Chain A
Amino acid sequence: MSPASGARSRHGAFILLRRLRHPLVLLIVVYAVAVAGFTLVPGVDPGGRPWRMSFLHAFYFVSFLGTTIGLGEIPYPFSDAQRMWATVSIYATVIAWLYAIGALFAVLQDPLFRRLLHESTVDRMVRRLREPFFLLCGYDDAGHRVARELTEDGIRVVVIDIEPARVDAADVDDHRVPVPALLGDASDPKSMTLAGLTHPHCVGVLALTGSDAINTKIALTARLLNPDLPVLCAAHDHAWHPRMATAGADHLINPYDTFAERVAISLRTPSLHVIYEALTTQAGTAAAEPLRLPRGRWVLCGWGPFARTLRRQLERLEIETTAVGTELDDSCDASNSVRGDPSDATVLREADIEHADAIVACTEVDIDNLAIVLTAKGIRKELFVVARQNQRRNSMVFRAAPTDLVMLSGYVIAGEVLRNVRAPLLSAFLRRARDHDEAWAAALLARLRESVGAEVLESWSMSLVPAAMPAACAALARGEPLSLRRLMTRPDGSARMVRAVPLMLQRGNERQMLPSIDAPLVEGDQLLFCGRALARSRMRGFALTRALAHVAVVDAAIALEDAP
């Protein structure tokens, strides 16, 4: 337990006790007076002799007096004096009880007490975590999607957000595993520690709040308090990139850059874009048709970081652009830009929309973007339309609008985060794949289609270490040669290979794209595969439980494994 969180959870109990001091003292005093009174007031026993209650009887009688107003007069019928005292006692104890219970409820409703209770509940949940978990800061569109997909894989997540409504959403959302959600400021190191920043099982921090400044502060806090922890930071403004990198963010995720790069990839190497989509989206397949983006002039509506980075990517591909916006700053080349409201048809005509091929509506207001799309489509039907969506709740209207591509920055960020978390090698592979030409990508795509077909494409990493692949490492230790072919062959003697394609081999800092399946492997190698989900579970199964395929099998003819 961290000292800060321990002190906070004890705090809650202290507040409860301190606020109940007055009602409890009143209760004790009222009870004491009532009990003492009953022992003093004279009574008469059935024989007519004077009688006084003992303390035991008096305490017994007063105890049920306040709560039930009596079970009768015991042990003998009361004298008038005793009845008078009983009446006084009834009013006094009932009032004392009402006051005490009222005070108790008031404390339980107290915002401070509730916050402390909430913190200690989350603290307890986090401390009890015995599996690796990610600390997710910010639970809006991006955080929500990341949490959902990670928990679906059975990976634990702890959420921290400053908005009560979003924390409630995290509590209410139906996750497969419980997700502790802390209402707190992610830029406050105390809240971060409470949410498990220094927990031994914390495996990474995902800084996905909407503010670049807060994300930077999260990266800095994580780097100072738990230096070995990888930090993924979302950034929207390029000005913050160097600061975030200095603060210790291991990965920067800029949704605008990511999207602009994807547009550039599908313009330059359409096959690679299909591979990219197949590998990075949930239900992506290699059989999908490449997206055909027009190479004519693009009109970018709404100047900002997104339009700027998209224009840079398009200009690199020698595609003409025209920027339209009400506020065009110095970073915008004045020669091919138009100042004005882009949802106005005359302004769009001024930008020569009649002779453009594509329009990108990328203002920060969803309604404006939809208005631009509709106005532009009204002028020229053949336009290719890219729209930026800012809020997830507007998804329905964006789906209904005549758009070809929708960019929701929360989802773009979530996709990047998940790719980094699930298969760190995949990011490296995709980065390197961009350097290759269309012929290379088309060949790879053909190979994927041949081996995986129209099935959903999955990617997975495997490390050649004893903990993950005991049989293979034992074979290496005996000095036996080991190749990818042997790893991918079924160990049941059928000589069939799993339907998977090795994408990358990482040895130390060296990365080899599309390694040959006969290349020898050494211990410590990291492998990236893609293929059907079935192939993934088979290969993991071979690696962990079964023996390796026999060496002789390697020389046998290789038959592809048939359908299950």
Chain B
Amino acid sequence: MSPERVLFAFVIVLALTLNVGFVVGDLRDPTQHNVYELFGAIAVSLVATVMKFGDRSPLGSTMLATSLVADLQLIASAATWGLLASGGETLTSGQSATVVSLAIGALVANVVSVVLLVIEVASLRR
């Protein structure tokens, strides 16, 4: 067990948990989705991406790819929210569904990341 690996797993799992925390709730109700949670998810996801830089194993490259997908989806989600809510307006239920469903897409990518992490650890044990 190295501190580096702990940090690595911590960041990847944190990206997933924050993402889950954001999307859980009614898709159409903007009050059930916290903007800070989305912001945290983006920041942690970006850090996770950078931490995967330079890993030359096939699993590492796949993890970098899934992480980039998560970043893209989360940033799209945040940008949509920022644009739709400009001038302090609250989101309509349809707009809210768009923002949250983009984040759900990122959730799938983050789940794949964690699965790959588990596979990597399991193959190390063997």
Contact of B43 among A10, A19, A28, A54 (CB under 8 A): A28
Query: Does B78 sit within 8 A of A, measured CB to CB?
Result: yes
Encode B44-59 as 1/0 by CB contact (under 8 A) with A: 0011001101101000
Contact of B53 among A20, A28, A35, A56 (CB under 8 A): A20
Binds A, one of B22-30, B82-90, B100-108, B112-120: B82-90
Beta-carbon contact of B47 and A28 below 8 Å: yes
CB within 8 Å of A: which of B45-98? 46-47, 50-51, 53-54, 56, 78, 82, 85-86, 88
Beta-carbon contact of B39 and A36 below 8 Å: yes
A55 to B36, CA, bound (A): 9
Q: Chain B: interface secondary structure?
A: helix
Beta-carbon contact of B53 and A17 below 8 Å: yes
A35 to B50, CA, bound (A): 19
Beta-carbon contact of A25 and B47 below 8 Å: yes
Q: Which of A24, A29, A31, A55 has the most CB of B within 10 A?
A: A55
- Shortest CB-to-CB span from B53 to chain A, Å, is 4
A397 to B41, CA, bound (A): 75
Beta-carbon contact of A15 and B54 below 8 Å: yes
Q: Known: A18-B53, A56-B86. Is A28-B39 also a contact (CB below 8 A)?
A: no
Q: In the complex, which residues of chain A have a beta carbon less than 8 angstroms from the beta carbon of B50?
A: 20-21, 24-25, 28
Q: Chain A: interface secondary structure?
A: helix
Query: Does A32 sit within 8 A of B, measured CB to CB?
Result: yes
Q: In the complex, which residues of chain A have a beta carbon less than 8 angstroms from the beta carbon of B121?
A: none
A114 to B78, CA, bound (A): 39
Encode A270-287 as 1/0 by CB contact (under 8 A) with B: 000000000000000000
Beta-carbon contact of B39 and A55 below 8 Å: yes
- Shortest CB-to-CB span from B80 to chain A, Å, is 11
Closest-by-CB residue of B relative to A14 is B54
Closest-by-CB residue of B relative to A18 is B54
Query: Inter-chain contact count A-B, CB under 8 Å?
Result: 45
Q: In the complex, which residues of chain A have a beta carbon less than 8 angstroms from the beta carbon of B82?
A: 54-56
> How many of chain B's residues have a CB under 8 angstroms from any CB in A?
17
Q: In the complex, which residues of chain B have a beta carbon less than 8 angstroms from the beta carbon of A55?
A: 35, 39, 78, 82
Beta-carbon contact of B53 and A21 below 8 Å: yes
Q: Known: A17-B53, A54-B85. Is A29-B39 also a contact (CB below 8 A)?
A: no
Beta-carbon contact of B43 and A25 below 8 Å: no
Closest-by-CB residue of A relative to B81 is A55
A25 to B78, CA, bound (A): 20
Q: In the complex, which residues of chain A have a beta carbon less than 8 angstroms from the beta carbon of B85?
A: 54
- Shortest CB-to-CB span from A165 to chain B, Å, is 33
- Shortest CB-to-CB span from A436 to chain B, Å, is 65
Encode A32-64 as 1/0 by CB contact (under 8 A) with B: 100110010000000000000011100000000
A331 to B95, CA, bound (A): 97
A20 to B40, CA, bound (A): 22
- Shortest CB-to-CB span from B62 to chain A, Å, is 15
A54 to B82, CA, bound (A): 8
Chain A residues proximal to chain B, CB less than 8 Å: 10, 14-15, 17-21, 24-25, 28-29, 31-32, 35-36, 39, 54-56
Task: Enumerate 8 A-B pairs (CB-CB under 8 Å) in ascending A order.
Answer: A21-B53, A24-B50, A25-B50, A25-B51, A28-B46, A28-B50, A39-B36, A55-B39
Known pairs A20-B53, A21-B54, A25-B47 / 10 extra A-B pairs, C-beta < 8 Å: A17-B54, A18-B53, A21-B53, A28-B43, A28-B47, A28-B50, A29-B43, A39-B39, A54-B88, A56-B86
